[in-house]
Amino acid sequence: MAAVGLSASSFINRERSWIQFNQRVLAQALNPQTPLLEQARFSAIFSNNLDEFFMVRVASLKSQVEAGVDQLSLDGRSPLQQLLDIREQLTPLLQQQQNHYKNYLVPTLQDHGVEVFRYTELNRQQRDWTTRYFQSLVFAVLTPLAVDSAHPFPFISNLSLNIAVLIQDSAIGSHQFARVKVPRSLPRFVDIPTQLSTLDSVRTVVLLEEIIAHNLDVLFPGTVVTGHYFFRVTRDADLEYLELEADDLLQAIEASLRKRRLEGRVVRLEVDEHMPQGVVDQLMAGMAVEQEDLYRIRGPLGLDDLFQLTTTAQPQLRYPPHRGRVPPPFRRAQKSLLADGSLPREEFESVFDVIRRGDVLVYHPYDLFAGSVEEFINQAADDPDVLAIKLTLYRLSKESAIVDALERASEHGKQVLALVELKARFDEDNNIQWARQLERAGVHVVYGVLGYKTHTKVALVVRKERHGVRSYAHIGTGNYNVKTSRFYTDLGLFTCCSMIGQDLVELFNYFTGYGKQQRFRKLLVAPVTLRDRMEAMINREVKHAREQRGGHIRAKMNSLVDPAIIQALYGAAQAGVRIELVVRGMCSLRAGVPGLSESIRVVSVIGPFLEHSRIFWFGNGGNPEAYIGSADWMTRNLDRRVECLTPVEDPLLRQKLEILLSLYLQDNCGAWQMETDGSYRPVLRRQDEAERNAQSALIQYWQAVQGKADLGAAAVSDAVT
């Protein structure tokens, strides 16, 4: 329901807002200024995002409808109304994506030597090659399943691409229906040897399902294939587990994963637009699909596989490659530099020496994750003076240098604690495997606080030094994941502030024991202090504004949907507080509405990197406060997760955060601004205005100081203006 004192029209539906975000992603694919292979990547991201949206959000709304839940959303819509709105909003976007693929992406790629052929477009030699490919590699993998009185309708797995085959028995003339699953173990875009092409091609591909479809007679000997049609299924993939009743959380989640794979109901059925209604009816009946869950698609299904095209060796069709730098404060603390002889041994210093001199702020991917976070954990694992390492693991890559370091530290006899969040959506199985591996290595592994998901990203190193024990900390906005660090923008603070160290000691005790810490010295921790402190700082800006000290709030986050925070921001705006928000995804707040939010501006920045950093800045009457951390302004982050924000108190580092916020707010290349009706429009550059692209400017600045001393916040400002 709407917040007290506000009408439903004061809020934007979160599902609608999410679809608008994904529309902005699609706009990057449709933009002819985007490099061609990057267009394919953004189109793949659009599809991948939609898959997760259906598996979680649409599935949740359908559950509410079936359970008879009539609670209205913030904007006054029932679950059924929201489902109908979702379909209405998505239909034109799906058509835009397919039109772009067929009418622009494929023919333009061909102009650059990348041929994406339909099977019917292949020449004789290429068809002969695909036949040999099918016989030697594909045929043995396939399992055709008939559907008749002796063979019930088969289970269709989540996100699987399938072929509905109509066959006729040549002996008795009967018609049958069969299903063939397109194997995920083989590439979707099959590379044909370029020497078989009549053009000077760099790459020639054809879709795997088309190769299978044109060899179906081999799968069904003695019959006549009278038709084939592609379809794809999306199932409810949100885990359900009774955590409070589980004796073993790991086993409970494993059981839930098995149930999700085998029992998740269908929430979307995508079919080839040419599929006859009789075949559609059979699929819908076999999987209990409702009419509103059916999507007829005019083109290839599952375009998330366009990721496979982006590996084409055509660098001019991609964004220029970016490799981050080793953060200047850590330049002399790299073991690798010492090992290869590029740094004299007497000039080497440890990361702990660096952090003792002052806090260090890093910004990935512009700053290398390996040259900062991984180096911090690696040196902690090998330093004989380190007594303990503790950190939280939410999402990890398939290979992790951090896990290797934790295992090595345990072997060296250090106390090592890893909080592995087993409930990280779609990473549950991966995290279970990591948890077991760490336990086998002697690491103390815990799964978090009962009833809460631990989303915070913190690491603590306890070190014995000349004057006693000192704690070193890293608090970040992103996961300890080297893979995502290359294309997610995330901030991290290294500090040896004693009060932050003590806060983290008590926070980890909260994770591992029964203590319920209610107060922290510096950190803002959800669900304990974060919400109250955020609302208090918003209200403090109201007081400053009323006393003519210029209330001002700037913040950057992924999502803003919490009704209490939105209501507090509306109240601040009405009191004259200037509010500037950079919200990448969902935003239920309406900006610029007369009498409600005239002084609030909301922008969303979409670019080569996924904006993932969170910054919260409050003017505080000329004595600013700034925080970074893992939490968005969402109810789940404030009330149902363990989150952590740290203050950035060093004036120079805080100034850098202020400049980062200004960069995003001044962007006129990749920014979109919210209108009063909740829609977004691109921020257009005036003819007399310089081009300002926040991500490009940051790349240029970081490259300019590659290997040099950090030029400071003023230099950042100079480099981007």
pLDDT value for 701: 81
Residue 385 has pLDDT above 50, yes or no: yes
Residue 281 has pLDDT above 70, yes or no: yes
CA distance 586 to 571: 21
pLDDT value for 634: 97
pLDDT value for 524: 97
CA distance 637 to 453: 9
- Start-to-end CA span in the chain (Å): 44
pLDDT value for 514: 62
CA-based nearest residue to 319, from 707, 703, 699, 708 = 699
CA distance 597 to 295: 38
What 172-175 contacts at long range (C-beta under 8 Å, 24+ apart), as own/partner pairs, is 175/226
pLDDT value for 601: 98
pLDDT digits (tens, 9 = 90+) for 406-460: 999 999 999 999 998 877 676 677 777 878 888 899 999 888 777 888 899 999 9
The proportion of the chain whose per-residue pLDDT surpasses 90, expressed as a percent, equals: 72
Residue 585 has pLDDT above 60, yes or no: yes
123-127, 410-414, 713-717: which range is least confident on average? 713-717
Question: Could you give the residue numbers annotated as active site?
Answer: 455
pLDDT value for 262: 57
CA distance 410 to 388: 9
Q: And the tokens for 720?
A: 């981007």
pLDDT value for 515: 62
pLDDT value for 421: 82
Q: Is 74 within 8 Å of 586 (Cβ atoms)?
A: no
Domains and their CATH numbers in the chain = 34-248+265-317 (3.30.1840.10), 328-512 (3.30.870.10), 524-720 (3.30.870.10)
Residue 150 has pLDDT above 50, yes or no: yes
What 436-439 contacts at long range (C-beta under 8 Å, 24+ apart), as own/partner pairs, is 437/403, 437/407, 438/403, 438/406, 438/407
Looking at per-residue pLDDT, the higher value among 4 and 649 belongs to 649
The phi and psi torsions of 634 (rounded to 5 degrees) equal -125, 150
Residue owning tokens 């501006």? 601
CA-based nearest residue to 116, from 213, 37, 31 = 37
pLDDT value for 261: 57
pLDDT value for 8: 86
Residue 720 has pLDDT above 60, yes or no: no
Label the pairing between strands 203-207 and 625-629.
unpaired
DSSP 650: S
The proportion of the chain whose per-residue pLDDT surpasses 70, expressed as a percent, equals: 89
DSSP track, 7-51 = -GGGB--HHHHHHHHHHHHHHHHH-TTS-HHHHHHHHHHHHHHHH
Residue 341 has pLDDT above 60, yes or no: no
Q: How many residues does the chain have?
A: 721
Q: For the chain, what is the mean pLDDT?
A: 89
Instruction: Spell out the SS3 assignment of 449-490.
Output: CCCCEECCEEEEEEEEECCEEEEEEEEECCCCCCCHHHCEEE
pLDDT digits (tens, 9 = 90+) for 245-267: 344 556 666 665 565 555 678 99
pTM for this model (two decimals)? 0.92
pLDDT value for 708: 44
Average pLDDT over residues 271-276: 94
pLDDT value for 721: 41
CA distance 471 to 463: 6
pLDDT value for 709: 41
CA-based nearest residue to 305, from 34, 30, 43 = 43
424-459 as b/e: b if 16+ CB within 10 A: beebbeebbebbeebeebebebbbbbeebbbbbbbb
pLDDT value for 331: 85
